[in-house]
Amino acid sequence: MPKTCVQMMLDKPESALDSGFLVAKIRLYRRGKKADRTMKSYKLLALKLVAILAGVFGGAVAAADTPADDFNVELNQAGDGAVITGYSGKDGIVVIPAEIEGLPVKAIAGAFRNNRNITSITIPDSVTTIGQLAFYGCRGLTSVTIPDSVTRIGKYAFQECRGLTSIAIPNSVTQIGDGVFQWCSGLTSATIPDSVAAIGESAFWGCGGLTSITIPNSVTQIGDSAFRKCSGLTSIIIPNSVTQIEDGAFRDCQNLTIINFAGDNPIKFGSGVFSGCGKFSLATQAALRKHGWKGN
């Protein structure tokens, strides 16, 4: 069946520009500057129409991959994939390609460290590792898409990404590394999946905008200073799976006054876990002591 003009424009806009229904009027002006100006005018109009029709009939148009030449890459240890080690592009919206030079992009090292220009990152589903310091200090970063292929997020990967307001960690991740979101002061919500077994040291330290956090029933360990200085937290639920809360995990959460427990299991508390927090009620103190807390 012949394609409709809409289908032609969505599938191959450049071909559509050469089709009769778009250039019929242009052919009336075959000579002179007027023809040239008219041709440019109609091509611009046609491209605008493509964008409008794509939105109406085809949904949002996916952003194109950032050119491979904008990245520095190295071969990984196994020799079967590429590691992004640097970014020299100027565009603030970055879509990392799934392949470079025929090899899948499997990891991101400290490629974007202290890049203040980028605002959005889309990571392909070929990537399994977001390495140490990968996006450290990207203060303009407001959006990041982490695919389900990622199993490991390295230390300080998003530290000081102060423009981030929310983050969804995929179910494939089993551990949130040390300082991953430290000083992400704009972060108001974070989704921790039930695949995570440990929340690393200083993972959310200084996330003052964080008003709520749900710790899943898979977590067994909350690291040293994991939620320190999260001044927006007012309450927290400790799941039954947690067996250890390390030193200063909730230190200086000055508005944290309510601690609830989902079970009766004993917990090993480090020192100063709740030092500098808000005033605990007698009932909250009793619940804490029941689980092994001996005070600050």
Mean pLDDT, range 25-33, rounded to an integer: 43
pLDDT at 178 over 80: yes
pLDDT value of position 62: 58
Residue 26 is assigned to a structural domain of this protein:
yes
Mean pLDDT, range 10-22, rounded to an integer: 44
Residue 33 is assigned to a structural domain of this protein:
yes
pLDDT tier, 67 (very low <50, low <70, confident <90, very high otherwise): very high
pLDDT value of position 191: 86
How many domains does the chain contain in total?
Answer: 1
Residue 13 is assigned to a structural domain of this protein:
yes
pLDDT at 8 over 70: no
Task: Give Cα separations from 244 to 29, 105, 161, 167, 290 (angstroms).
Answer: 79, 36, 28, 25, 14
Mean pLDDT, range 166-184, rounded to an integer: 93
Mean residue pLDDT across the chain: 84
Backbone angles phi, psi at 135, to 5 degrees: -125, 25
pLDDT at 276 over 80: yes
Residue 132 is assigned to a structural domain of this protein:
no
Task: Give Cα separations from 74 to 77, 81, 146, 151 (angstroms).
Answer: 9, 9, 21, 20
Residue 22 is assigned to a structural domain of this protein:
yes
Mean pLDDT, range 243-266, rounded to an integer: 95
pLDDT value of position 44: 42
pLDDT tier, 103 (very low <50, low <70, confident <90, very high otherwise): very high
Is the sign of the CA dihedral 23, 27, 29, 32 positive or negative? positive
Q: Which domain holds residue 45?
A: 5-57
Query: Residue 164, CB half-sphere, CA atoms under 13 Å: how many?
Result: 29
pLDDT value of position 175: 83
Residue 19 is assigned to a structural domain of this protein:
yes
What is the value of pTM for the model shown?
A: 0.77
Task: Tell me the pLDDT tens digit for each residue of 108-156.
Answer: 999 999 999 999 999 999 999 999 999 999 999 999 999 999 999 999 9
Mean pLDDT, range 277-294, rounded to an integer: 94
Mean pLDDT, range 150-167, rounded to an integer: 95
pLDDT at 7 over 60: no
What would the DSSP string read from start to end of the chain? -PPPHHHHHHH-HHHHHTSHHHHTTGGG--SHHHHHHHHHHHHHHHHHHHHHHHHHHS-SPPPPPPPGGGEEEEE-TTSSSEEEEEE----SEEE--SEETTEEEEEE-STTTT-SS--EEE--TT--EE-TTTTTT-TT--EEE--TT--EE-TTTTTT-TT--EEE--TT--EE-TTTTTT-TT--EEE--TT--EE-TTTTTT-TT----B--TT--EE-TTTTTT-TT--EEEE-TT--EE-TTTTTT-TT--EEEESS----EE-TTTTTT--PPPHHHHHHHHHTT----
Which residue, chain included where needed, has tokens 């030449």? 69
pLDDT at 3 over 90: no
Please give the structure tokens belonging to residue 54: 């794509």
- 10-37 residues labelled b (16+ CB within 10 A) or e (exposed): beebeebbeeeebbeebeeeeeeeeeee
Residue 222 is assigned to a structural domain of this protein:
no
Residue 263 is assigned to a structural domain of this protein:
no
Task: Compute the radius of gyration of the chain from its Cα atoms.
Answer: 26
